[in-house]
């Protein structure tokens, strides 16, 4: 152990009359640890929300959608499909129809979104078949419907129930429930019903017409590149949106919240580092005689500065290490036992998602805490280095 590190350690864990210094050192360590732990837990939760939301969006929606300002005719859909199939990154294409209808059940009236799909093709583009909790998607044929779990609970629907629908054309349709899905997104499960393409065309009066094409990629992060290629292939008469563009408000809000929470919680660590400044200042005052003796023996100011800088870093590093371990432990417990539940009618999920990311989250938290600690040592270390041996030993 080097002389500088040895002296720093002895000043930190003093066992004699300066026990007060050791006490405030412990308080400083705990302050930094609490700040780091809070940062790790909150940022892990924010990252979990981001990742969970992205996975659910990808499961419910296509990576890319191709639509127009008018309904797409069926021959037009076949032409576009033939041009796009086999293109790089494009894995599957599924047509769909989307609109609004009015439903009635036990004198309850609601306006809902309706989506018409080809079950076989839709399986290749979204995860709706994986979300079916009752019934089967393959049973989705003429005059049948698949509803979300939240809507089914609200209206008291089950398999073989009959749902009364009024189309925008003023026609009434009685659809048999053949499936119930649960995607985990409350709004999606409450406000959408799924029917076959033929049924949707009949209800919405869109014979041989489609609303849009849903495209699945082999790499969702290639969406922007593929979008440009699709524009070149189909022309500029179509509106092409990636999954990021379709949900950019969600991701922008999450990114801003994550940054804001990082800044706010970093202030906890900053406040804790004022304790480190106090500890070092008290240590400098208590060790004025020692500093004078060290300088009289020939130790230069740079080494004196390093002693107190090292002491501050020992306090900060101990706090960072302790806080990191505690933060990771809390995150693992939250992830495994999920003892914090969320109201699903307020949030889109029913549990608190946690995702620990070494880079960049944890690395930036640790580096920020150490940087704040290092900055907090500047003034006390400079004050100690500036002491003159004669003044330090004047009254000894």
Angle, alpha carbons 345-53-262 (nearest 5°): 100
What are the helix (H) ranges across the chain? 3-12, 19-60, 74-84, 119-125, 128-131, 149-155, 186-191, 197-204, 223-234, 243-246, 248-286, 288-296, 301-337, 363-376, 378-385, 389-392
Dihedral sign computed on CA atoms, order 132, 133, 139, 140: negative
* CA trace torsion 250, 254, 260, 262 (10° rounding): -170
Which residue in this structure is represented by tokens 């400098």? Answer: 284
Question: Cβ(204)–Cβ(183) under 8 Å?
Answer: no
Give yes or no for a contact between 246 and 239, defined as CB atoms under 8 angstroms apart: no
Identify the pLDDT of residue 186: 79
pLDDT in the model for residue 197: 93
Q: What count of other Cβ atoms lies within 10 Å of the Cβ of residue 147?
A: 29
* CA 24/CA 177 separation, integer angstroms: 67
Prediction pTM value? 0.74
Q: What is the pLDDT of residue 173?
A: 92
Write the DSSP string, 155-204. Answer: HT--TT-EEEEE-TTS-EEEEEEEEEE--S-HHHHHHEEEEEHHHHHHHH
Nearest CA among 103, 102, 260, 128 for reference residue 194: 128
Give the pair of three-digit tokens for residue 190: 């409450």
Q: How many Cβ atoms sit within 10 Å of the Cβ of residue 252?
A: 10
- Sign of the alpha-carbon dihedral angle for 271, 275, 276, 277: positive
Dihedral sign computed on CA atoms, order 57, 61, 64, 66: negative
Q: Checking phi first, is residue 184 left (phi over 0); if not, alpha (psi -120 to 50) or beta?
A: left
**What pLDDT is recorded for position 393?**
63
The pLDDT of residue 329: 95
Per-residue pLDDT of the chain (396 residues; tens, 9 = 90+): 577 787 777 776 665 555 665 677 788 888 889 989 999 998 998 888 888 877 877 778 889 999 988 899 989 999 999 989 888 889 999 999 999 999 988 787 889 999 999 999 999 998 888 899 999 888 898 899 999 998 999 898 999 999 999 998 888 999 999 999 988 777 888 999 999 999 999 999 998 899 999 999 998 889 999 999 999 888 888 999 998 888 777 778 778 888 888 888 888 788 878 888 888 888 787 778 887 888 877 888 888 888 888 888 888 899 999 999 999 999 999 888 887 777 766 666 667 888 888 888 899 999 988 998 899 888 888 888 887 776 656 655
Query: Is 244 within 8 Å of 255 (Cβ atoms)?
Result: no
């Amino acid at each position: 152990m080097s002389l500088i590190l040895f002296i720093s350690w002895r000043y930190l864990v003093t066992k004699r009359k300066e026990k007060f210094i050791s006490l405030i050192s412990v308080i400083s360590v705990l302050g930094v640890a609490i700040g780091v732990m809070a940062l790790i837990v909150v940022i892990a939760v924010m990252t979990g929300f981001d990742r969970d939301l992205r996975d659910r969006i990808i499961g419910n929606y296509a990576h890319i959608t191709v639509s127009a300002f008018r309904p797409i005719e069926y021959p037009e859909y076949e032409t576009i499909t033939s041009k796009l199939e086999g293109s790089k990154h494009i894995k599957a294409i599924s047509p769909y129809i989307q609109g609004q209808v009015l439903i009635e059940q036990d004198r309850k009236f609601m306006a809902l979104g309706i989506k018409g799909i080809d079950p076989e093709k839709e399986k290749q583009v979204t995860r709706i078949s994986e979300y079916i909790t009752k019934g089967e998607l393959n049973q989705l044929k003429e005059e049948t419907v698949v509803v979300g779990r939240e809507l089914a609970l609200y209206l008291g629907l089950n398999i073989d129930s009959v749902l009364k629908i009024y189309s925008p054309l003023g026609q009434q349709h009685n659809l048999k429930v053949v499936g119930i899905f649960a995607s985990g997104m409350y709004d999606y499960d409450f406000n959408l019903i799924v029917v076959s393409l033929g049924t949707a065309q009949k209800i919405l009066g869109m014979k041989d017409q489609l609303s849009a094409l849903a495209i699945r990629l082999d790499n969702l992060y290639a969406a922007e590149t593929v979008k440009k290629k699709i524009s070149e292939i189909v022309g500029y008469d179509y509106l092409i949106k990636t999954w990021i563009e379709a949900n950019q408000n969600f991701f922008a809000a999450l990114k801003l919240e994550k940054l804001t929470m990082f800044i706010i919680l970093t202030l906890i660590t900053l406040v804790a580092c004022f304790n480190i400044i106090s500890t070092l200042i008290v240590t400098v005052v208590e060790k004025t005689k020692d500093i004078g003796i060290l300088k009289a023996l020939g130790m230069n100011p740079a080494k004196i500065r390093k002693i107190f800088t090292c002491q501050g870093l020992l306090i900060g590093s101990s706090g960072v290490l302790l806080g990191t371990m505690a933060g990771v432990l809390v995150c693992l417990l939250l992830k495994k036992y999920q003892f914090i539940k969320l109201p699903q009618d307020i949030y889109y999920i029913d549990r608190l998602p946690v995702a620990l990311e070494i880079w960049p989250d944890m690395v930036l938290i640790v580096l920020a805490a150490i940087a704040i600690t290092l900055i907090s040592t500047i003034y006390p270390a400079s004050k100690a280095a500036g002491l003159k041996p004669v003044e330090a030993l004047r009254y000894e």
